[in-house]
Chain A
Amino acid sequence: DAGVTQSPTHLIKTRGQQVTLRCSPKSGHDTVSWYQQALGQGPQFIFQYYEEEERQRGNFPDRFSGHQFPNYSSELNVNALLLGDSALYLCASSLKAGGPLFFGPGTRLTVL
């Protein structure tokens, strides 16, 4: 049974560019949440997708957007990248919006 998978594992971008990160949830899960983890800190909630709609959102600007597809996979898009966007981006899936979270290994984004 495959767990949560994310791609790519590492990514380097320059300021002002746009990036798309991808996540496939654990088999049987229908809800995807995204978290940002800066070095030395705990993860911070970005948003949650369920039934292809954004259901909850954390304190992140509109530059951060997402999408959920009919197969429950999800994308996180970040526009106009800033140096401060450098972080580990974690995807977590669950069965329905309140179920236990299973995290993926993350995508390490470096903005130069």
Chain B
Amino acid sequence: GESVGLHLPTLSVQEGDNSIINCAYSNSASDYFIWYKQESGKGPQFIIDIRSNMDKRQGQRVTVLLNKTVKHLSLQIAATQPGDSAVYFCAESLTGTASKLTFGTGTRLQVTL
């Protein structure tokens, strides 16, 4: 399949452990943020989103934290599984919607058995 990223920062996590993927976003005026997962040969897949009036949002096994003071976003994955291995991107928007997203450079998550 397609190689999504050859020289990305890599996070290696043991199966069953929790993963934390960090992202520094660029624009203090951004008001909507999304985490995407991209597996080899596939397009980005929506994981979770958060608006700027929130600082935490939880989904199934995932939590997104937003710190607007330092323009930082993190994605926490609980009980990481081999199927979580992928490249993860944060994306930001100035429109409050998924229109015209600006993506970060991505982090490769490797889950070891």
| Chain A positions near chain B (C-beta within 8 angstroms) | 4, 33, 35, 39-45, 48, 55-56, 58, 88, 90, 92, 94, 97-106, 108
Distance of A42 Cα from B91 Cα, bound (Å): 9
Residue of B nearest to A48 (CB): B99
Q: Say how far B101's CB is from chain A's closest CB, in angstroms.
A: 6
Using a CB-CB cutoff of 8 Å, which residues 1-22 of chain B contact chain A? 2-3, 5-8
21 residue pairs from A and B, CB less than 8 Å apart = A33-B99, A40-B5, A40-B105, A41-B105, A41-B106, A42-B89, A42-B103, A42-B104, A43-B44, A43-B101, A43-B103, A44-B103, A45-B101, A56-B99, A58-B100, A98-B95, A98-B97, A98-B98, A101-B46, A102-B46, A108-B2
- Is the CB–CB distance between B100 and A42 below 8 Å? no
Cβ of A101: which chain B residues have Cβ within 8 Å of it?
A: 46, 98, 101
- Is the CB–CB distance between B100 and A56 below 8 Å? yes
- B-side interface residues, number (CB < 8 Å): 28
- Is the CB–CB distance between B100 and A45 below 8 Å? yes
- Is the CB–CB distance between A42 and B105 below 8 Å? yes
- Is the CB–CB distance between A103 and B106 below 8 Å? no
| Chain B positions near chain A (C-beta within 8 angstroms) | 2-3, 5-8, 36, 41-46, 49, 89, 91, 95-106
- Is the CB–CB distance between B98 and A39 below 8 Å? no
- Is the CB–CB distance between A45 and B44 below 8 Å? no
Cβ of B45: which chain A residues have Cβ within 8 Å of it?
A: 103
Distance of A40 Cα from B5 Cα, bound (Å): 4
Given contacts A39-B6, A40-B7, A98-B95, contact A90 B43 (CB under 8 A): yes
Given contacts A42-B89, A42-B105, contact A92 B99 (CB under 8 A): no
Residue of B nearest to A3 (CB): B43
- Is the CB–CB distance between A98 and B8 below 8 Å? no
Q: Pick the residue among A41, A55, A98, A106 that contacts B5 (CB under 8 A).
A: A41
With A88-B2, A97-B97 already in contact, 15 other A-B pairs whose C-beta atoms are closer than 8 Å: A4-B43, A35-B103, A41-B106, A42-B105, A55-B99, A98-B98, A98-B99, A100-B49, A102-B46, A103-B44, A105-B41, A105-B42, A105-B43, A106-B2, A108-B2
